Structure 1
Amino acid sequence: MPDVVVSSGAHDASRLPAPVRSARELIPLLREHAAEADRTGRLSETVITAMRKAGLLSLRVPAVNGGPEADLRIAFEVHRNLAHGCGSAAWVAMILSGSSLIASQLGEEARQELWGTDPLAGVCSCLPLTGTAVESPQGVTVTGRWFPASGVHQSRWAVVAASRAGDSPVLAVVPVEAGVVEPTWATTGLRATRSDTLVLDDVFVPRRRVLPMQSLITGVRDPAHPARTAPSFLPAALVGVAAPLLGMAEFAVEQSREWLRGRAGEGNQRATSSAVLNALADASSRVDRAHRILDSLLTDVERSHEAQQPADALFRGRVRMLVALAAADLRDAVRGTLTVFGGYGMATSNPVERVWRDVETACTHVMVSMDRALDEYGPLLIQPRTP
């Protein structure tokens, strides 16, 4: 198994934060089950149980509610390391961790409802505005279909986005069992995420489990209740979604290096040809560049959180733009490793072939869309800085 390096530079496992150490320890198990997960389109219960027991599906649950309350960098490294074992497992863990951060903005009564009896209870999120919320004095009644609902099969709760007539959108936290999960996820990559469709029909959500959707941008400031205080979610989510991409690309490059070393040792001339070695050098360099971009963004977002000020539009646009650039590098790096392998690159027995499909699918996500990033960031560069 190739060494899994974390951005802190720590190679001694005993010095790593406990969640990162747990993620590294799970890599062999994830690899053992990855091919079957891809074939069957579902993560094994063995893998889910192991990640859940290690707290890796509830990383951002507040400590006051019994959760790990991991910070952004630790969560990033967990999901990056998990992706060395299985892209789908890392993606589900990333979604559930981020969703628990959103839900942590709720008040104490609602948070007790979510995690009071089980701090490891999973929370997924479905943020496309494809549902409606009808207001009442006590809360909202939510109806809609949300796709893709990554992590819904590992979650007890779901955060769904819904529009309101004549008012701003809301986030409603609902029990998954209050709806129906339709099997609609039939994709080329990330198959085992089972990102199916969550359907809700006239589900009442009490006011305590409703947040303004704007809180994703502004965060929540509640000095009287520090556990409810949360920074702007969007910049952290943008960087966080790239963590599984980075881990998968690192794994692909390491696998191609090991494969070439073996072929070169056997005297294979193609393995030492300039075309193949150039492809390897290009792929490796793209991963390094993406890593540096993302590590720098982690620092920027951490500083923004420490300032306890809402991230302005220009900052958010810059983060989105740089994340899209990093994702493009990682996508091209994985494509480049297929050149290194030659015909074997497309063999279903080659784990990098699965990684390639997973990365291509992940790169369709709006968070890493280059077109979306360019459309948002360009106009911001000539406008005054505004929240």
Structure 2
Amino acid sequence: MNLTQHAAPHRAATVVDLDPVASASALISSLRSRSAETDALAKLPDETITDIEGARLFDLVVPKIYGGLQASLDTWMDTVVQLGKGDGSTAWTVGLRAASTWMFLTAFPKHVVDDVFAISRKLSVASVLVPRRVKTRRVDGGVVIEDGLWGFNSGVLHAQWDLLGIPILSEDGQIVDRGVALVPTSQVTPMNDWNTIGLRGSGSISVTAKDVFVPSERIAPLSKILREDYACTHLRDAPLYRIPLIPLLATNLVLPALGMAKAALALFVEGIGKRGIAYTTYDRQDEAAVTHLQLGEASAKIDAAESVIRRSVTALEASGAREAERMTLDERTRIWRDAGFASQLIWEAVNMLAGASGGSLANVGNPMTRLWLDVRVAGLHGAICTSTTMELFGRLLAGKKPNSPLLV
């Protein structure tokens, strides 16, 4: 049965005019009210998933021809930031699911995308580009994943498809490229290994796969993706689907923490008129000069991080609007560097606010404590580690090539 001819027209009929940023903002209070439940479950509660689906936030980057919102990257950013004000795990899940969906849409040709939309009532994709271990073999018509393990598979607990990094082998079994394999989540085994101090609700578990056949049409070579040689020829008219992968993924990782930092600043300001400073004559923290200095520095760092990220978003959108001209290596590496730097600024700001919040920070139920831990864990992602991102750009300034296979 040919599923492709009916998929897109059917989905297109569901397009509605929604404001995802306003929808995300409307969820902040509900998300905060479920914080204890979210952490206890170590995944998003069903009510949160229902809210996200009701607001169509998982459709953020789905093309309009498939009934999606096809939001701009600027709207994508603002939506995830708003969610971060309510719950970091929700923002992380929505942001990474958006990136995974975008990668699927750009990496595969129309007939594969159409088939997936025909099979799945809702498009729900998670991803892990780098496996912890994987062994594959070529067979007629595709590849068999004999054994594989992929960690930090954010969003997979609520997804129907998983994009998993695999090696691409030559006929004699040599690795000639890396690729992403589109696998139904029903064919991977989730592991109960997500027990963390922060972002607990993201449920970023590991998954394994054994003896899973992947047809050739559901394997996309990473070398083409990294060169923006995207297979989505039917989406070429939309700038969103021409943006370079790596700087987009790096920038996206910072968005949840930016929302959390804004929430931490507001929470700190709310409390300084209600508590004093121990062992001083200050009955109110907001009377102390040190508090004013802390507020000034923390807010400046948050504002600076946002300015850096918005500059990256503007550059990425401009790159997508240029049909023939690729973003330069310097530009792509700088945006990656800036993602790491913005993440560092956010952590420094939140750490300062948390440290100035007094002994109550030791309480597990303190909202500031949760924000502090969530921001710390978000910043631990290897793709935005500052020692890595700074070196990448520093090598370019020193006249050398960046030492990452993801920059080509």
TM-score (normalizing by structure 1): 0.90
2:213 counterpart residue number: 204
246-255 vs 102-111, greater mean Cα deviation: 102-111
The answer to whether 1:183 aligns with 2:199 is: no
| 8 Å Cα contact 2:273-2:285 kept in structure 1 | no
2:109 counterpart residue number: 107
| 8 Å Cα contact 1:146-1:199 kept in structure 2 | yes
| 8 Å Cα contact 1:125-1:160 kept in structure 2 | yes
% of aligned pairs identical? 25
1:2-27 per-position Cα deviation (integer Å, ceiling 9, x unaligned): xxxxxxxxxxxxxx961111111111
The answer to whether 1:64 aligns with 2:65 is: yes
2:176 counterpart residue number: 167
Q: How many positions carry a matched residue from both structures?
A: 370
The answer to whether 1:126 aligns with 2:128 is: yes
| 8 Å Cα contact 2:109-2:233 kept in structure 1 | no
| 8 Å Cα contact 1:61-1:100 kept in structure 2 | yes
Instruction: Give the alignment of 1:221-232 within 5 angstroms.
Output: 221=230, 225-226=234-235, 230-232=242-244
Unpaired runs of 5+ residues, structure 1, are 1-15
| 8 Å Cα contact 2:274-2:285 kept in structure 1 | no
Amino acid at match of 1:276: T
| 8 Å Cα contact 1:276-1:339 kept in structure 2 | no
2:344 counterpart residue number: 328
Q: Distance in 2 between matches of 1:223 and 1:129?
A: 25
Q: Distance in 1 between matches of 2:66 and 2:121?
A: 6
The answer to whether 1:317 aligns with 2:342 is: no
Task: Compute the displacement of 1:243 (Å).
Answer: 0.7
Q: What SS class does the counterpart of residue 141 from structure 1 fall into? A: strand
Task: Compute the displacement of 1:112 (Å).
Answer: 2.1
Q: What SS class does the counterpart of residue 128 from structure 2 fall into? A: strand
Runs of 4+ displaced beyond 4 Å: 221-224, 384-387
1:332-382 per-position Cα deviation (integer Å, ceiling 9, x unaligned): 111111133111233223211101111111111022110110221111123
The answer to whether 1:244 aligns with 2:289 is: no
Task: Compute the displacement of 1:225 (Å).
Answer: 2.4
Instruction: Give the alignment of 1:321-360 within 5 angstroms.
Output: 321-360=337-376
1:304 counterpart residue number: 319
1:61-113 per-position Cα deviation (integer Å, ceiling 9, x unaligned): 22222222222111111110001100001101111100000110211221123
Task: Compute the displacement of 1:301 (Å).
Answer: 1.2
Which of these residues, 278, 291, 304, is aligned with residue 289 of structure 1? 304
Task: Compute the displacement of 1:286 (Å).
Answer: 0.8
Q: Distance in 2 between matches of 1:234 and 1:149?
A: 17
| 8 Å Cα contact 1:231-1:310 kept in structure 2 | no
Amino acid at match of 2:308: I
Task: Compute the displacement of 1:233 (Å).
Answer: 1.4
TM-score (normalizing by structure 2): 0.85
Task: Compute the displacement of 1:282 (Å).
Answer: 1.4
The answer to whether 1:147 aligns with 2:151 is: yes
